[in-house]
Structure 1
Amino acid sequence: MAGERSAGAVAPSRSAARQADGRRPSGRSLGRRLRSELAGWTFLGPNLVLLVVFLFVPIVWAAVLSFQHSRGFGTPTWAGIANYTQMLGDAVFWQSAWNTLVFTVCTVPVELAGGLGLAVLLNSVLPGRTLFRTIIVLPMVISGVASGLIATIMFYQSNGLFNKILTAAGLPTVSWQSAPVPAMFSVIVVSIWLRLGFTMIIYLAGLQSISPQLYEAARIDGATRWQQFRSVTVPLVGPSTFFLLVMNVIASFQVFDVIFVMTGGGPGNATSVLVTYAYRNGFQIREQSYGAAIGIVILALTLVFTVIQWLTSRGKDLVE
């Protein structure tokens, strides 16, 4: 009986020890998880603070201001949707919106096609490809204002570089700064030049993740270089294309520095885009509430495009 009691006493103690041992690893794992999450929030915290202070708070402030009347002096008064209804009859607003659309349609496809072509070329065995990559990427390290000043010198109407070349070739000069179409053409060319390096870098990263065995299999099947590009390269850089499409469209809707430095939105309003028009209202003629409303419209347009593009791309992925 004593032996049975002792055995019975030992058994619960062993089971209790096993339970205690089973609890210790879970406690350690919980502690490690908490420390890991704390470390993550420690790294994210400063960025989140900066985002809240310099992005989300200004957006909310601009949204509130867009429903008020304010010229920067005195107490703002409530205006409701008056600033938004004003846009419906504002001819300059619609012209700026049209110019933004034209600018986007003319720049984004060229940037995507040119960036992919350069990436394919510089991803192959090409003499001096490192030098060419550096030359193409170089505009990325120059600020938009400095690039705009350089472009202004090149497109200057009286004695700019391009008109001097045309004169030397016996051709008539172009009114880059006083004619609407040449002015828009000049800012489009400069914007493509500035963004081409970024597009090429993203496509280069996508190309280098493609397995060479896929191209080898395509060659064995008799595919030409064009067929390899169309059937292997283009589909497999699809995620890069999606990312660049969204980023370049957003950049086109938000273009400001190049146009502001080169043309100031002129001649007339021929190169005025939504951001330059919002700046003009908010800081030059002191219609701050109307400028804020235009800024909210720009934000809404970019969000709508991004969501539509995201849903369309996700639908294709699900089908595949």
Structure 2
Amino acid sequence: MTAPAMSGTARVSAPSARRSRLVPQLTGWGFVFPATLVIVGLSLFPAVWALLLSLRDGDLLTGGDFVGLANYGDMLGDAELAAAAGHTLLYTVLFVPGSVVLGLALALALNLKIRLIGFYRTCFFVPYVVSAAATGILSNFVFDPDFGIVNAGLKALGLPAMGFLQDPDQAMLTLVAISLWGGVGMPAVVYLAALQDIPRMLIEAARVDGGAGRHVLRHVVLPQLRPATVFLLIWQTITALQLFDLVYTTTKGQPLDSTTTIVFYLYRQAFQLFHSGYGTAIAYVLFIVTLAVSGAVLWRGAK
């Protein structure tokens, strides 16, 4: 009698155990399903739709005809796209290392124990949280060749006025300077957090062994900041390759198309000239380039 009773108990408890495991899983899916639906609806579906759109020659109103990879092939002979890619590359080469190096210098300074350090940290981070559109509108007044405060200061010092955003030779450099002012807060905060995570005993041991300040920085601090540096290089590179809002609110690609970046050129093709298929193809190529660059930085940083 004992064995059959135990067998019956096992048969009854097995479904109960499965239900007890299934209920928490269903409850969890019930909580995450709305967010999952939003992500799929706002991210995956538009990405697939855009891929299909890049294979057609239609505009934003009509479907157009299926042209396969013709839009991608047209990019090879597009001189304006090549120029926009050159402008984007120049901006990336100047902005990414500049923001990382300045962010590290600021983090080292903000890591010191001085009075009002919290106030200083806030001041350097505030420009980052300000929208790029607001930054661009403000920059139009600051760098105005006739009434801007920068040229007013140059004139007060007896120096010639500059063209800044209205000079083809200075416009991109001015955009880099504006971006550094607004974007250096991100690297500073990341590096500051990484600096505070370095064990104090490690630094003190290096100093006890006779290491000078610059040697401790080079051989102890910087290696500990390697993961933060890799993250910032990837993040800032993605930010630079996707530059649009600052260009739109300041120069709109001018003067003489000297500040037309890839994303702004994409916007012009898709939403001004209504070449949505071609614009989407540019977007997908930019995505592949961004993914490749990020992967290369991540692989190099892991070595």
Give the 5 Å matches for 1:26-175.
34=22, 37-38=25-26, 40-175=28-163
Counterpart in the other structure of 2:287 = 299
Q: After TM superposition, give the deviation of residue 187 of structure 1 in Å.
A: 0.7
**What is the SS of the residue equivalent to 2:207?**
helix
**What is the SS of the residue equivalent to 1:78?**
coil
Consecutive unaligned residues of structure 2, counting only runs of 5 or more, are none
Q: After TM superposition, give the deviation of residue 148 of structure 1 in Å.
A: 0.6
Change (3 A) 1:33 1:176: farther
- The CA distance in 2 between the partners of 1:242 and 1:155, in whole Å, is 33
TM-score (norm 2): 0.91
Counterpart in the other structure of 1:197 = 185
Contact 2:56 2:63 (8 Å CA) reproduced? no
Contact 2:226 2:301 (8 Å CA) reproduced? no
- The CA distance in 2 between the partners of 1:139 and 1:31, in whole Å, is 53
- The CA distance in 2 between the partners of 1:82 and 1:161, in whole Å, is 49
Residue 218 of structure 2 aligns with an amino acid whose one-letter code is R
Give the 5 Å matches for 1:176-191.
176-191=164-179
Deviates more, 1:91-100 or 1:116-125: 116-125
- The CA distance in 1 between the partners of 2:181 and 2:300, in whole Å, is 29
Counterpart in the other structure of 1:206 = 194
- The CA distance in 1 between the partners of 2:33 and 2:218, in whole Å, is 44
Residue 60 of structure 2 aligns with an amino acid whose one-letter code is G
- The CA distance in 1 between the partners of 2:285 and 2:44, in whole Å, is 16
Change (3 A) 1:236 1:167: same
Residue 226 of structure 2 aligns with an amino acid whose one-letter code is G
- The CA distance in 2 between the partners of 1:192 and 1:27, in whole Å, is 61
Counterpart in the other structure of 1:237 = 225
Percent identity reads 34
Quick check: which has more Rg, 1 or 2?
1
Q: After TM superposition, give the deviation of residue 141 of structure 1 in Å.
A: 2.5
Q: Deviations over 1:167-218 (max 9, x none)?
A: 1111111111332221001110111112111111111111111110001100
TM-score (norm 1): 0.87
Point out 4+ residue stretches in structure 1 off by more than 4 angstroms. Answer: 23-28, 30-40
Contact 2:55 2:68 (8 Å CA) reproduced? yes
Consecutive unaligned residues of structure 1, counting only runs of 5 or more, are 1-8
- The CA distance in 1 between the partners of 2:301 and 2:16, in whole Å, is 43
